[in-house]
Amino acid sequence: MTRHAPERRGLTTLKRATATGAAALAVAGLQPGSAHAAPVPIPAPVVGGTPAAQGEFPFMVHLSMGCGGALYRNDVVLTAAHCVGRSGRNTSVTVTAGAADLRSTAAIKVKSTKVKRAPGYHHKGRDWALIKLARPLDLPTLNIAEDGRYNKGTFTVVGWGATQEGSRSRPGKLLKAKVPFVGDGQCKRHYGNRLVPAEEMCAGYPRGGVDTCSGDSGGPMFRKDDSGQWIEVGITSWGDGCARAGVPGVYTEVSAFAKNIAWAADTL
């Protein structure tokens, strides 16, 4: 399930877009991708999370198709490929920023103008995409990891997705949680050849209980760098269910695509 966005996470789903978001994509002719051999991704919220304070993660944005994302540049959002359709002109996405509570009057809304999906994306690995905004936002951006040195330790995940597997309820308030790194060998004990180690990484607790879920797809997984600043190391992508024991969440390994992402942003 894709966890994250039009659902890649949930039940072998892309991790996590909402059903409503997936429907909206279909209407717009944008077909969300599937996590594994080809399940359609399903978004989900942070399971086992706690409310984030207003302004705590100012780079975090919500996408109208039911995914999350982070400001890579003031006018460019980094999200998951399975959350968007093909590359090109696209004015159908509404980006909500500047508010932990989506119903807040402080929320800023801006439309998309273009989408750039990872070249060669075929619903397995390479799960990243960029969305160009109609105007730049006066908000902090989130740097991305350019090498694998930060692919370890404990990460922060955030999202507006479901708070438990199978739930269609969305709190509307940004939730946050901590999840530890899980090595490729341990992660493959569950996912086997469905995992693409060179392009994906895993995180989660052996006992489960904390995880991203449907509607969280595309959101950042991040930690502090050596200077104490937040840095994005993963993009919520997919997983089997949400917060199950022995089943880590799967995230796009950002450092594997850092140069590609920078080039794509320059060409938007």
Catalytic residue positions? Answer: 82, 127, 217
Which of these, 167, 129, 123, 174, lies nearest to 13 by C-alpha position?
123
Decide if 201 contacts 186 (C-beta within 8 A). no
Spell out a b/e string for 1-39, using b for 16 or more CB atoms within 10 Å of the CB, else e: bbbbbbbbbbbbbbbbbbbbbbebbeeeebbbbbbbeeb
CA–CA gap between residue 58 and residue 142 (Å, rounded): 9
Which of these, 216, 212, 220, lies nearest to 247 by C-alpha position?
212
Q: Which residues pair with 224 in a beta bridge?
A: 230
3-state secondary structure of 80: coil
Tokens 């200077």, residue located = 227
CA–CA gap between residue 140 and residue 154 (Å, rounded): 22
